[in-house]
Amino acid sequence: MGFPAQRPRRLRGSAVLRRLAAETRLHPASLIQPLFVVPGRNVEKEIPALPGQRYLSADRIGTAVARAVEAGIGGVILFGQPERKSADGQSAWDAKGPVQEALRAARREAGGALALISDVCLCAYLSHGHCGVVKGEGVDNDATLPILGRVACSHAEAGTDVVAPSDMMDGRVGAIRGALDGAGFQGAAILSYAAKYASAFYGPFREVADSAPEGFGREGYQMDPPNRAEAMREITLDIEEGADAVMVKPALAYLDVLREAATRFDAPLAAYNVSGEYAMVKATAARGWLDERRAALEILTSIRRAGASMIVTYWAVEAAGWLGGRRA
């Protein structure tokens, strides 16, 4: 039976019918807000590369966390900047570092109302900007692993619920799981950036985190954009090593990877709506060429439709408001 008896437009005729027939639902609880923590006190300043986002000192993190709780989003993920960078990155595991102090402050503010996630990587802490120990003309994978474990333990000690390694070293999930368990943090979960591509869309973040790599690029350890089957292998290995959830990053240029991962794996799946994706919309909307709210929700819905159960996005708190705030 076809037209005129069949008219799909009948269920598009009003907002209530469109809502009733929606196949994909975007909920605030699936959104994760990135927060950028810096040294010092009483710091709260705009980030030029990411309009609408702010650098925050640990003593100011409580306000941002309170907004996230009120918005009803699922969690926040903390990225830190050290007071000084070094060749060994030891400030990354400093118990009094910005991220560690911010985690304690965030826990006091949020209690159990919000998942606290902490990014585990060394790029912002190492003087050369790479995600691991540099030896010769490349990154020494195996020498980096115990350092990542040490950083993860410092975050768990400070109260994180989830550590999120983003370095793309082989074997790092197993090394971090072993370090956490050995230190008595069996309850700390691991959200692995399992399929993280060497992408042009990270540009604004590298400016924000002052983490542009020196000497050579990250193509030797981040994934090559043409590869999808390799992403499935990376995800498989990370789950086998003990990842509790896995991530595809970036989101928009890799929705096919995200969809295949959602089909193939039972583990919770996250996607990162990265800085370049966000900044493009912001810049275009600033010129009046598109509606930011509609574009952002369309993007986030596409990521959810592709299979992500968790979405890291700079629009998290704002999008929750657009969606109607806290909902059961």
Cα–Cα distance, 100 to 120 (Å, whole number): 12
Q: Is 190 in contact with 244 (CB distance < 8 Å)?
A: yes
Looking up tokens 């306000």 gives: 63
Non-local (6+) Cβ contacts of 21 within 8 A are 11, 12
**Residues 62, 156, 320, CA angle at the centre, nearest 5°?**
40
Q: Is 316 in contact with 73 (CB distance < 8 Å)?
A: yes
Determine which one of 85, 96, 135, 196 is catalytic. Answer: 196
Cα–Cα distance, 120 to 193 (Å, whole number): 10
Cα–Cα distance, 208 to 66 (Å, whole number): 23
Q: Is 195 in contact with 261 (CB distance < 8 Å)?
A: yes
- The answer to whether 45 is a known catalytic residue is no
Cα–Cα distance, 27 to 324 (Å, whole number): 9
Q: Is 262 in contact with 308 (CB distance < 8 Å)?
A: yes
- The answer to whether 196 is a known catalytic residue is yes
Provide the H-helix boundaries in 159-210.
172-182, 203-209
Could you give the residue numbers annotated as active site?
196, 249
